[in-house]
A and B are shown apart, each in its own frame.
Chain A
Amino acid sequence: MTEFARQVEALRPQLLRFARTQLRNDAWAEDAVSETLLAALERPQSFAGASQLKTWLVGILKHKVVDQLRRHTREASLMSDDDSADFDELLFTADGHWREAPKEWGDPEHACRERQFFEVLEACVQHLPGVQGRVFMMREWLELETDEICKELAITPTNLWVLLHRARLRLRSCLQSTWFDGREAPPA
């Protein structure tokens, strides 16, 4: 194996982690990563070397991941009961007040200094219901515009707003309970 092939192969686990977090389906993720590695090995000359190898591969992976979503549109947008559950009721009283006031989380730079924080963040994203997780990652990782997400998943804008809303509220609750609870409050 050439040095280039070895370096590409070494990045497979990280690419797979991204693909799994986005696609929420191991078989699709494996396919997206295999297609990425194949594309990379077939045209190594398109890696200019100016950017980091991983950045280049992640760029290819994002396209392959979108291809997978297109290939599996129906399944990818099939809502589970969890996806459909209204999260607001848990957080707000009938007259719209917080049941429990949000807490001070401090500066993300502070939490991000700890490697463990990323594991918690990633686990929380992975625990989102399937469709919520996909649309959230399409926004945050693929950085697609909302109308593109609607098109790729064949969902209405109203559906998308509701899904993103619930995904972010769930992520917030997960971070609160798995990272912040039991920690000393950061300086305000």
Chain B
Amino acid sequence: MKTTLTCRDVTRLVLEGEDRHLRLSERLGVRVHMLICKACPKFARQVQFMRGAMGQWKQYGGGNGEPPH
């Protein structure tokens, strides 16, 4: 594994982290990159946002039919 990851690499790993457990070396690479990059932490928060929003969407359509208030 490369010691320095680009934003493109980190984006891919952050997204794959939604669907599988990242290996230790991958997690470390991402963590190190996040310390020196301003953009990728925001991307990671957007991914969290999407996960949260899809969870709420399931409730919206699958729960009582009304959006949560």
Q: Which residues of A contact B (CB under 8 A)?
A: 11, 14, 17-18, 52, 54-55, 58, 88, 91-92, 95-98, 101-109, 111-115, 117-118, 121-122, 139-141, 146, 161, 164-165, 168-169, 171-172, 175
Contacts and interface: CB of A to CB of B under 8 A. Distances in A.
A172 B50 contact: yes
A103 B42 CA distance: 6
Interface string B1-45: 000001111011001101110000000000000000011101101
A140 B40 CA distance: 23
B38 A101 contact: yes
* Dominant secondary structure of chain B at its interface with chain A: helix
A169 B19 contact: no
Closest 3 interchain pairs by CB?
A96-B6, A108-B52, A96-B8
A108 B56 contact: yes
A168 B68 CA distance: 24
B19 A118 contact: no
A104 B42 contact: yes
Interface of B: 6-9, 11-12, 15-16, 18-20, 38-40, 42-43, 45-50, 52-54, 56-58, 60-65, 67-69
Contacts, number: 107
A100 to B, nearest CB: 9
Most buried by B among A104, A168, A175: A168
B46 A96 contact: no
Contacts of B20: 146
B56 A54 contact: no
A118 B60 contact: yes
B36 to A, nearest CB: 13
Contacts of B16: 161, 165
B53 A112 contact: yes
Contacts of A109: 52, 56
Contact of A52 (B6, B7, B64): B64
A122 B13 CA distance: 25
B42 A171 contact: no
Given A17-B61, A171-B50, A113 B69 contact: yes
B63 to A, nearest CB: 7
